Chain A
Amino acid sequence: VRREAFLDRLRDARAGAPDLAGAHPPGPPPALVPRVAWRPDARGLEERFADALAGVRARLVAADALPAALAELEVRTAVATTDLVALPGGVTRLGLERVAEADAGVTAARAACAATGTLVLESSPEQPRLVSLLPRVHVAAVPRSSLVETPGDVLRGLGRGPLPSALTLASGPSRSADIDGEVVYGVHGPLAVLVVLVEA
């Protein structure tokens, strides 16, 4: 009833609205929503991905360089929802219920976007959403074959569904410029994001 009354008020308002043909009338909507396309880039997707990750302060690391990278970030404990990357010997794996105290969260990404360094993360019973969010360090395994060029390559397909309860496009560590315009990383989400390309 409330919903109908609300929508009826909108329909009435719309019916009484004047014609919008002002000095700058908007044109009719395009038949197809244009793609958000980047300027042509001759580089391969992996190279662009690595650059874009660096641009948002994330890092692409080779699987064999991961132990050193984690050691540098003083990671001693981790929770993990994937076995696509192996935890180094010095890192203790905690149960998922201890996600709030772990130094690192290791997850798989469903896809990644080369132009923006974006990870596509999905929630599921096996992949709680907080694993990539609460720990200081987020380690993401990205299957090489899932690398696409732009966020649109992922978003435009979502209409076909079904969708997870939470699908997150994450580009780099959490950041803020609220304190006197100075960009700071690691506000409420991870302080560092390490990305490993895997064959899967």
Chain B
Amino acid sequence: VSAILPLRGTTLRERSAAALAGDGHLQASLRGTTDALDGRRRNTLAELDDPDGLRAAARALRTDAIARLPELLEQVADGVEAAGGHVFFAADAEEAREHVAGLAERRGARRIVKSKSMVTEEIELNPRLEAAGIDVVETDLGEWAQQLDGEPPAHILGPALHKTKGDWVRVLGGVGYDGGESAEAMTAFARATLRERFLNADVGITGVNLAVAETGSLVVVSNEGNGRLTAGAPPVHVAVMGMERVAATWAEADLLLALLSRAGAGVSLATYVNCLTGPRRPGERDGPEELHLVVVDNGRSRILAGASREALNCIRCGACLNACPVYRQIGGHAYGWTYSGPIGAVLAPLLLDDVPEAAELSHASSLCGACWDACPVGIPLHELLLQGRADGAARDHGGERALWRAWARAWSRPRAYARTGAPAGAPVPDALVPPPFRAWTAGRELPRRSGATFRERWRRGEVLDP
């Protein structure tokens, strides 16, 4: 049976093996879902006049927004406050968690509804709220199933894509469902069960897809409608946002939403694009009385200062996951962390600088560039993965570096180079390969030369006509 191992204390190989153990459903379902999403992404991009031009513009605009991040965040905060909301800047996960927990406590909150938000997973908000005795319910269908099953999300967009209908029946059965394997019956059950939670919640917590600086508005995208309900039904709305999710203008927001919708769910526009400017106004019958925006750094300013700054351009659509040959084989849980796929492999070593196991994720890539090709804002993810490897190597003072140095020195000398090429004739048996290299040959064949080397042929005068 497949299992989810934590990042700390495990290797990628161990986590992949654990995730893939089982009946092969994970592989089949990953293939089906990621193919479908990638196909819809292409189809919906094709309806546009100049998708490549839009993508190039989006990349330049995102880069510019990140370069102006302090000014834009200031504008967002002023706008939110002018509209009657509150803004809290959290330097790290703990500050963010404590602030949200403090808000809940001050309101005497017992029940909280959440719509899907990766940044709240990143800062591990739910355990903190639950420790305070608060009942926290995830309301995105897939995320709810993951919560009921005690598992983290497996994909930025499709948190439960690895679950079979049988898994769903089992998980929902735990909260009273007995309607069989029909997706419609399960959805109706979830609607009825969660509807009551929405209407009785004290606080609603959402993520933020974009904060639009020019009006201080928060854009929250959802397809199921849980984003609208979470932000609109309870008396308090807490929106938690990674600090990089800022658009300067609504024109920019329009472009990013068009690309996000297509790259994410493969639709022309997400079903609900909810644009929130401040809390409920005088005379309004619904909407939150209080709106709180929590802007989270949690290591992002380190990225801003480094060579991988473009990783902050990410709008979290998940398209690079669907395109990645590594993600498609091992799934999200094998990465061992909130963010998986190529973007997760780029972010992990940068954001988790105190977790040595994170560095290995830079190698969870074939550097084929499919992620770059799929990225709606053109982030050169393959180059950032290489940068991650370079960063990792710069931290490494051990034997590997000495080994590569010695090799480089040897091959800069003609005679040594000539002697160490691939041997002709019979293959070297694996048993003769010394231990550190045996791990490499375990899955590969050593190269074999057929015939003479170039140098030998040169000496014999076979290369050039006399």
Report which A residues bind B (CB closer than 8 A): 2-3, 5-7, 9-14, 16-18, 20, 22-24, 26-30, 32-34, 36-40, 52, 56, 96-97, 100, 113, 115-116, 118, 123-125, 128-130, 133-134, 151-152, 155-159, 161, 163-182, 184, 186-190
Bound complex: CA of A87 vs CA of B380, how far in Å? 55
B295: nearest chain-A partner, CB-CB: A6
Report B394 CB to chain A, min CB distance, Å: 13
Bound complex: CA of A33 vs CA of B77, how far in Å? 23
Interface size of B by CB at 8 A reads 110
Please provide the 8 A-B residue pairs with the shortest distance between their CB atoms, ordered closest to farther: A189-B225, A125-B283, A178-B142, A13-B305, A174-B225, A6-B89, A188-B225, A33-B251
Q: Known interface pairs A159-B215, A186-B191. Does A175 touch B224 (Cβ–Cβ under 8 Å)?
A: yes
Assess whether B430 is interfacial by the CB under 8 Å rule.
Answer: no
B288: nearest chain-A partner, CB-CB: A165
B32: nearest chain-A partner, CB-CB: A181
| A2 and B64 form a contact (CB under 8 A) | no
Assess whether B117 is interfacial by the CB under 8 Å rule.
Answer: no
On chain B, the residues within 8 Å of A30 by CB distance are 57, 60-61
B282: nearest chain-A partner, CB-CB: A125
Option from A129, A178, A180, A184 in Cβ contact (under 8 Å) with B164: A180
On chain A, the residues within 8 Å of B418 by CB distance are none
Most buried by B among A23, A118, A157, A188: A188
Bound complex: CA of A34 vs CA of B48, how far in Å? 12
Assess whether B175 is interfacial by the CB under 8 Å rule.
Answer: no
- 8 additional A-B pairs beyond A155-B251, A189-B272, beta carbons within 8 Å, are A9-B91, A10-B69, A10-B304, A36-B255, A40-B49, A125-B281, A156-B250, A159-B249
Report A77 CB to chain B, min CB distance, Å: 16
| A39 and B47 form a contact (CB under 8 A) | yes
Bound complex: CA of A2 vs CA of B77, how far in Å? 12
Bound complex: CA of A180 vs CA of B63, how far in Å? 36
On chain B, the residues within 8 Å of A182 by CB distance are 183
On chain B, the residues within 8 Å of A20 by CB distance are 63, 307, 309-310
Most buried by B among A20, A171, A176, A186: A176
Task: Encode contact with A along B141-173: 1 for CB under 8 Å, 0 otherwise.
Answer: 110010000000000001111011100100000
Q: Known interface pairs A188-B195, A188-B229. Does A168 touch B286 (Cβ–Cβ under 8 Å)?
A: no
Bound complex: CA of A158 vs CA of B252, how far in Å? 11
| A179 and B165 form a contact (CB under 8 A) | yes
Task: Encode contact with A along B271-285: 1 for CB under 8 Å, 0 otherwise.
Answer: 111111111111111
On chain A, the residues within 8 Å of B160 by CB distance are 178-179
Task: Encode contact with A along B20-61: 1 for CB under 8 Å, 0 otherwise.
Answer: 000000000100110010000000000111100110110111
| A159 and B224 form a contact (CB under 8 A) | no
Q: Known interface pairs A11-B70, A39-B49, A174-B272. Does A152 touch B61 (Cβ–Cβ under 8 Å)?
A: no
B163: nearest chain-A partner, CB-CB: A180
Bound complex: CA of A36 vs CA of B48, how far in Å? 7
Option from B48, B183, B232, B284 in Cβ contact (under 8 Å) with A39: B48
